[in-house]
Protein backbone atom coordinates (compact mmCIF):
# COMPACT_ATOMS: atom_id res chain seq x y z
CA UNK A 1 0.00 0.00 0.00
CA UNK A 2 1.46 3.32 -1.03
CA UNK A 3 0.88 6.07 1.51
CA UNK A 4 0.52 9.49 -0.07
CA UNK A 5 -0.86 11.49 2.85
CA UNK A 6 -0.40 11.72 6.59
CA UNK A 7 -2.48 13.31 9.32
CA UNK A 8 -1.56 14.45 12.77
CA UNK A 9 -3.76 14.21 15.78
CA UNK A 10 -3.40 14.83 19.46
CA UNK A 11 -0.59 17.33 19.71
CA UNK A 12 -0.21 18.76 23.20
CA UNK A 13 -1.75 15.75 24.89
CA UNK A 14 -0.08 13.94 27.77
CA UNK A 15 -2.13 10.78 27.35
CA UNK A 16 -2.24 10.18 23.61
CA UNK A 17 0.19 11.85 21.29
CA UNK A 18 1.07 10.87 17.79
CA UNK A 19 3.18 13.91 16.94
CA UNK A 20 4.60 15.62 20.06
CA UNK A 21 4.34 15.24 23.82
CA UNK A 22 2.83 17.85 26.10
CA UNK A 23 5.34 19.98 27.99
CA UNK A 24 5.02 21.50 31.43
CA UNK A 25 3.66 24.72 29.92
CA UNK A 26 1.88 25.66 26.72
CA UNK A 27 5.05 27.44 25.51
CA UNK A 28 7.12 24.28 26.11
CA UNK A 29 4.49 22.15 24.37
CA UNK A 30 4.59 24.46 21.36
CA UNK A 31 8.40 24.30 21.28
CA UNK A 32 8.30 20.48 21.31
CA UNK A 33 5.70 20.51 18.55
CA UNK A 34 7.75 22.93 16.43
CA UNK A 35 10.79 20.62 16.65
CA UNK A 36 8.75 17.68 15.35
CA UNK A 37 7.14 19.80 12.65
CA UNK A 38 10.63 20.81 11.42
CA UNK A 39 11.35 17.12 10.91
CA UNK A 40 7.91 16.50 9.36
CA UNK A 41 8.57 19.23 6.79
CA UNK A 42 11.90 17.62 5.85
CA UNK A 43 10.26 14.20 5.54
CA UNK A 44 7.44 15.58 3.41
CA UNK A 45 10.01 16.99 0.98
CA UNK A 46 12.08 13.80 0.87
CA UNK A 47 9.14 11.37 0.58
CA UNK A 48 6.51 13.33 -1.30
CA UNK A 49 3.97 12.41 1.38
CA UNK A 50 1.74 15.39 2.18
CA UNK A 51 -0.43 16.39 5.10
CA UNK A 52 -4.12 15.68 4.69
CA UNK A 53 -5.32 17.14 7.98
CA UNK A 54 -4.41 18.22 11.47
CA UNK A 55 -6.47 18.34 14.62
CA UNK A 56 -6.14 19.32 18.26
CA UNK A 57 -6.93 16.91 21.05
CA UNK A 58 -9.57 18.74 23.04
CA UNK A 59 -11.03 15.74 24.81
CA UNK A 60 -8.68 13.14 26.27
CA UNK A 61 -7.20 15.14 29.13
CA UNK A 62 -8.76 16.01 32.48
CA UNK A 63 -8.42 19.66 31.49
CA UNK A 64 -11.31 19.21 29.06
CA UNK A 65 -13.56 17.03 31.19
CA UNK A 66 -16.26 19.71 30.96
CA UNK A 67 -15.61 20.54 27.34
CA UNK A 68 -13.13 22.79 25.59
CA UNK A 69 -15.03 25.36 23.54
CA UNK A 70 -18.11 24.87 25.73
CA UNK A 71 -16.26 24.92 29.04
CA UNK A 72 -17.61 27.42 31.59
CA UNK A 73 -14.05 28.05 32.86
CA UNK A 74 -12.50 30.90 30.85
CA UNK A 75 -8.98 29.55 31.50
CA UNK A 76 -9.85 26.20 29.93
CA UNK A 77 -11.58 27.91 26.99
CA UNK A 78 -8.48 30.10 26.48
CA UNK A 79 -6.11 27.11 26.66
CA UNK A 80 -8.20 25.28 24.07
CA UNK A 81 -8.17 28.35 21.83
CA UNK A 82 -4.38 28.64 22.13
CA UNK A 83 -4.00 24.94 21.37
CA UNK A 84 -6.19 25.21 18.27
CA UNK A 85 -4.33 28.36 17.16
CA UNK A 86 -1.07 26.43 17.20
CA UNK A 87 -2.59 23.48 15.35
CA UNK A 88 -3.95 25.86 12.72
CA UNK A 89 -0.46 27.29 12.21
CA UNK A 90 1.11 23.83 12.04
CA UNK A 91 -1.53 22.55 9.61
CA UNK A 92 -0.84 25.55 7.37
CA UNK A 93 2.92 25.06 7.67
CA UNK A 94 2.60 21.40 6.65
CA UNK A 95 0.25 22.21 3.77
CA UNK A 96 -2.69 20.38 5.31
CA UNK A 97 -5.89 20.32 3.30
CA UNK A 98 -8.24 20.21 6.31
CA UNK A 99 -8.42 21.11 9.97
CA UNK A 100 -10.66 18.69 11.85
CA UNK A 101 -12.51 19.34 15.11
CA UNK A 102 -13.26 16.26 17.19
CA UNK A 103 -14.85 17.13 20.49
CA UNK A 104 -16.05 14.02 22.17
CA UNK A 105 -16.40 15.94 25.44
CA UNK A 106 -18.05 19.13 24.25
CA UNK A 107 -21.20 20.12 26.00
CA UNK A 108 -22.93 18.88 29.05
CA UNK A 109 -22.36 15.91 31.28
CA UNK A 110 -26.04 15.99 32.23
CA UNK A 111 -28.94 18.12 31.07
CA UNK A 112 -29.81 18.59 34.74
CA UNK A 113 -26.85 20.88 35.43
CA UNK A 114 -26.18 22.78 32.25
CA UNK A 115 -27.02 25.92 30.36
CA UNK A 116 -27.32 24.60 26.81
CA UNK A 117 -27.67 28.04 25.26
CA UNK A 118 -24.54 29.30 27.03
CA UNK A 119 -22.53 26.26 25.93
CA UNK A 120 -23.67 26.63 22.32
CA UNK A 121 -22.87 30.37 22.47
CA UNK A 122 -19.37 29.48 23.71
CA UNK A 123 -18.92 26.97 20.88
CA UNK A 124 -20.14 29.51 18.31
CA UNK A 125 -17.72 32.15 19.64
CA UNK A 126 -14.90 29.60 19.46
CA UNK A 127 -15.63 28.72 15.84
CA UNK A 128 -15.96 32.40 14.90
CA UNK A 129 -12.46 32.94 16.33
CA UNK A 130 -11.19 29.98 14.31
CA UNK A 131 -12.68 31.36 11.08
CA UNK A 132 -11.23 34.83 11.76
CA UNK A 133 -7.76 33.45 12.55
CA UNK A 134 -7.85 31.20 9.49
CA UNK A 135 -8.40 34.29 7.34
CA UNK A 136 -5.70 36.24 9.22
CA UNK A 137 -3.02 33.63 8.58
CA UNK A 138 -4.12 33.08 4.98
CA UNK A 139 -5.02 29.42 5.41
CA UNK A 140 -7.10 27.83 2.66
CA UNK A 141 -7.72 24.44 4.25
CA UNK A 142 -11.25 23.27 4.93
CA UNK A 143 -12.62 23.32 8.46
CA UNK A 144 -14.33 20.02 9.26
CA UNK A 145 -16.47 19.41 12.33
CA UNK A 146 -17.03 15.83 13.45
CA UNK A 147 -20.60 15.01 14.41
CA UNK A 148 -19.36 14.09 17.89
CA UNK A 149 -18.76 17.81 18.55
CA UNK A 150 -22.40 18.24 19.41
CA UNK A 151 -23.82 17.32 22.80
CA UNK A 152 -26.04 14.36 22.16
CA UNK A 153 -26.08 10.80 23.34
CA UNK A 154 -29.15 10.16 21.29
CA UNK A 155 -32.62 11.42 20.30
CA UNK A 156 -33.73 11.88 23.90
CA UNK A 157 -30.89 14.32 24.57
CA UNK A 158 -31.74 16.25 21.42
CA UNK A 159 -35.39 16.57 22.41
CA UNK A 160 -34.43 17.58 25.96
CA UNK A 161 -31.97 20.16 24.64
CA UNK A 162 -34.70 21.61 22.40
CA UNK A 163 -37.00 21.95 25.44
CA UNK A 164 -34.29 23.72 27.47
CA UNK A 165 -33.13 25.90 24.59
CA UNK A 166 -35.74 26.28 21.82
CA UNK A 167 -33.17 27.70 19.38
CA UNK A 168 -31.01 24.55 19.67
CA UNK A 169 -30.61 22.73 16.37
CA UNK A 170 -28.08 20.49 14.70
CA UNK A 171 -27.40 20.02 11.03
CA UNK A 172 -25.14 17.08 10.27
CA UNK A 173 -23.78 16.49 6.79
CA UNK A 174 -22.05 13.19 6.11
**Dist. CA 146–CA 153, nearest whole Å:** 14
Q: Quick check: helix, strand or coil at residue 142? A: strand
**Burial status of residue 10 (CB atoms within 10 A of its CB: 0-12, 13-18, 19 or more):** buried
Q: Quick check: helix, strand or coil at residue 98? A: strand
Q: Can you give the length of the chain in residues?
A: 174
Known catalytic residue at 122 = no
**Dist. CA 131–CA 145, nearest whole Å:** 13
Q: Are strands 5-8 and 50-55 parallel, antiparallel or unpaired?
A: parallel
Residue 109, CB half-sphere, CA atoms under 13 Å: how many? 8
Q: Which DSSP helix (H) or strand (E) runs through 50? A: strand 50-55
Catalytic residue among 6, 9, 75, 122: 9
- Residues with a catalytic annotation lie at 9
Amino acid sequence: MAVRRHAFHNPLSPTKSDIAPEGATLAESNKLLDAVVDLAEELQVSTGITCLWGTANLFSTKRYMNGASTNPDAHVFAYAAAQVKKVMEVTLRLGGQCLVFWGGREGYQSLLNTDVKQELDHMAAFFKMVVAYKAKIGATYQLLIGACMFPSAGPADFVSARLLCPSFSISVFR
